Amino acid sequence: MNAFAPDTSRSGAAAWDRRSLRWQVMMAVVAINLCAALAAMVVTIVNARRATEVEITSSLTIAERFVEETLERLADREGGAASLAQLPLHVSGLRHVRIHIEDAQGRVLDVDPGAHAPATDEDGDETEGEVPVWFAALVRVAPEGRDMPVVENGAVVGHVRVVGEAADEIAEVWHDTSDLAVLMLAVNIVVLVALYLVLGRLLAPLRTLAGGLNALGEGRFGHRVPVPDVRELALIAERFNALGAALNQARDDNERLNERIINVQDDERRQIAADLHDELGPCLFGLRANLESVHRLATRAEPDLATRLGERTATMAEILDRVQHLNRRLLRKIRPMALGHVPLGTVIGGLIADFERHSPGHHFQLAIEGLAERYADSVELTVYRCIQEAVTNALRHGGADRIAITLHAAEDGRMLLLRVEDDGVGMAPDAEPGFGLIGIGERLSALGGTWRIAPLSPRGTRVEMNVPVRVVAGDEARVLAG
């Protein structure tokens, strides 16, 4: 066996498996019917041959007796001698046999010339009338004949030869078989049409179930399929709907859990930011005030001491400036104190202005449109973090020179649409998002939002984020995840 030769059996099985279930069942039924038809044809031919042999033997026996009785009757009427010339008039019309009468000189006195001779086609082959040649060849039996002498006045004046002729029997079998075949063909067509319709009705719930599985794969866990009347399929549909309900409930639980985790994190950050602002801020302010007081007192001391105290107070002032700057950076990183106190657009403007101060030589473009005055803390902080992370990635990893930020509300006011585009080197096709974008994705998912990142042509990256919101006017404004 050639190891490199294609395995036709496997390829054939794979081609069969790729067909639809309806096609497989229909082809299986057709194959079974063809096998049954072939078996029926074999049985019909075997029975027809047996019946033809019996019929020919019986016809020969009857014809032989008939000829003998006819010869005896003619002999009695002619005074003991059979009239060979009158014999053809009395032995015509017999079925399944051919009778040949010859005189003593060998001349043939046929009973009915051509009446029992089988029909032939243009090539001289027997066609048995309307019977196909192939069918006649399958059913035809070996020819059988009997020879009877004709005696007149004690002398043999001729011979009567009776030969079995199966043409009539074969024609009867062919007509019966063809009629039965037509009937079976009609019945099979009706059965196949009915099977096609029934299978279509039975398989329709499976197609619906396949569509439902696609819906579950796309995350639409609220999708339900109708329950069919067929008991087995109804059980599958019910289990599918139960699975969809369980997945939907699990997703809702996960979203609530993620939202609670994010809210807890935001609360912790808010508390830390408040502590840094309310506790550390006044302490730093007090240190600066006392340091300035020490500096003023140092001017009254003797010159050498005043110089050393001035150097120390300058160093302490520099350290204090660094601590205050670090405190402000921590506040912005943990939670901008302006969130919740000023409009979101103003906070975003301040963020971009801060990027401009710390990233000279880069160009920033900010477009804000249609925002409400206030949103919930979770939504405002999410939008803030999304912009902060996207711009930071564009500067740090993308090497961008120009960054455009667009933020606007959807027409129905239930969605904030954010887009950040840059002209950097872009992302490699097989690059994985960093932890920052993964965290943003988790935050958006908790709020029921979506995001995607895509390359720009000829270079650059676009990050799109959608945050579902619902604004309630007034001081008690709330934004709920959609």
Q: How far apart are CA 221 and CA 207, in angstroms?
A: 18
Percent of residues, the chain, with pLDDT higher than 70: 82
- Overall average pLDDT of the 447-462 stretch: 84
CATH architecture of 342-482: 2-Layer Sandwich (3.30)
In this prediction, residue 419 has a pLDDT band, given cuts at 50, 70 and 90, of very high
Provide CB contacts within 8 A for 296, sequence distance 6+. none
Q: How far apart are CA 447 and CA 482, in angstroms?
A: 7
- Overall average pLDDT of the 67-96 stretch: 66
Nearest CA among 397, 386, 381 for reference residue 437: 386
> What pLDDT is stored for residue 203 in this prediction?
78
Q: How far apart are CA 237 and CA 208, in angstroms?
A: 9
DSSP, residue by residue, 323-342 = HHHHHHHHHHHH--TTBTTB
Helix (H) or strand (E) holding 363: strand 363-369
The CATH number fitting domain 16-190, selected from 1.10.3470, 3.30.70, 3.30.420, 3.30.450: 3.30.450
Q: Token digits for 215?
A: 């819906």
Q: How far apart are CA 358 and CA 361, in angstroms?
A: 10
Write phi, then psi, for 233 (nearest 5 degrees).
Answer: -70, -35
CB neighbours of residue 5 within 10 Å: 7
Percent of residues, the chain, with pLDDT higher than 90: 4
- Overall average pLDDT of the 223-246 stretch: 85
| CA quadruple 387, 392, 398, 401: dihedral, nearest 10 | 80
pLDDT tens track for 376-395: 888 888 888 888 888 888 88
Place of tokens 């020819």: 143
pLDDT tens track for 156-166: 777 777 777 77
- Overall average pLDDT of the 406-433 stretch: 82
Is residue 444 a contact partner of residue 450, using CB atoms and an 8 Å limit? yes
Higher-pLDDT residue of 238 and 135 is 238
pLDDT tens track for 194-221: 888 888 887 788 788 888 888 888 878 8
Provide CB contacts within 8 A for 383, sequence distance 6+. 344, 348, 375, 407, 416, 418, 467
Strands 461-468 and 415-422: antiparallel
- Overall average pLDDT of the 402-417 stretch: 87
Annotated domain spans of the chain? 16-190, 248-335, 342-482
